[in-house]
């Protein structure tokens, strides 16, 4: 099974904004034989248990999950830049991972540091998921969504 890391903005967003697209993506990917690694799940545990996690622990956890993924799916739908998401993109590409992004934040997507580190860019989540399902499914299931 291929594993997809779900990267995207969390700072300044509501829990629903952080988790909504990730839940939809994980559900569809699981239906097509993929595993997902979701940094929001770690964040949710920290909130529930009122843990004080250091920034180093957060970044190390994200990097660990990226290293153990096959593909990185990136949300770039917010005009205000997420520095953490840009870091995830660059790190994933340096690890040799395909980076598939989606969203309408054209100034972010078209920035040279982003554009040169992504594999493909789509306007919406569904198009990005079709790409991942069609190109990176180790089980051979290529039925789209």
- Summarised one tens digit per residue, pLDDT across range 73-98 is 999 998 888 999 999 999 999 999 99
pTM: predicted TM-score of the whole model, two decimal places = 0.88
Note whether residue 141 is domain-resident: no
CATH code of the domain containing 34 = 3.40.50.450
Does a structural domain hold residue 143? no
Helix (H, G, I), strand (E, B) or coil at 55: helix
Please report which confidence band the pLDDT of residue 42 belongs to, taking 50, 70 and 90 as the band edges: low
Is 104 a domain residue?
yes
- 44 burial class (0-12, 13-18, 19+ CB within 10 angstroms)? middle
User: Does the structure show a pLDDT above 50 at 102?
Assistant: yes
pLDDT digits (tens, 9 = 90+) for 51-70: 566 778 888 989 999 999 99
Helix 55-67 vs helix 83-94: angle between axes, to the nearest 10 degrees? 40
List CB contacts of 97: < 8 A, sequence separation 6 or more.
5, 66, 69, 70, 71, 72
Comparison of pLDDT for 48 and 30, the residue scoring more: 30
Please check whether residue 84 lies inside any domain of the structure.
yes
User: Which two structure tokens, joined as six digits, stand for 31?
Assistant: 């239906």
- Residue 110, domain member (yes or no): yes
Helical packing angle, 15-31 and 125-136, nearest 10°:
30
| pLDDT at residue 27 is higher than 70 | yes
Query: Is there a contact between 118 and 89 (Cβ–Cβ < 8 Å)?
Result: yes
23 assigned to some structural domain: yes
State the total domains in the chain: 1
Report the mean per-residue pLDDT for the chain.
Answer: 88
- Expressed as residue numbers, the domain containing 44 is 3-136
Q: Which residues make Cβ contacts (< 8 Å) with residue 129, sequence separation at least 6?
A: 25, 28, 29, 73, 145
Q: Are 114 and 89 in contact (CB under 8 A)?
A: yes
């Amino acid at each position: 099974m291929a594993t997809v890391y779900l990267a995207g903005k969390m700072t300044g967003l509501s829990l629903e904004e952080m988790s909504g697209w990730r839940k939809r993506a994980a559900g569809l990917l699981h239906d097509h034989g993929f595993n997902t690694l979701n940094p929001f799940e770690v964040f949710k545990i920290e909130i529930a248990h009122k843990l004080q996690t250091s920034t180093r622990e957060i970044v190390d956890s994200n990097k660990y999950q990226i290293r153990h993924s096959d593909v990185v799916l990136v949300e770039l739908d917010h005009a205000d830049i997420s520095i953490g998401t840009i870091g995830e993109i660059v790190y994933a590409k340096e690890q040799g991972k395909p980076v598939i992004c989606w969203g309408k934040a054209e100034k972010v997507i078209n920035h040279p540091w982003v554009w040169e580190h992504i594999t493909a860019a789509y306007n919406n989540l569904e198009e990005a998921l079709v790409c991942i399902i069609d190109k990176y499914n180790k089980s051979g299931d290529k039925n789209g969504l």
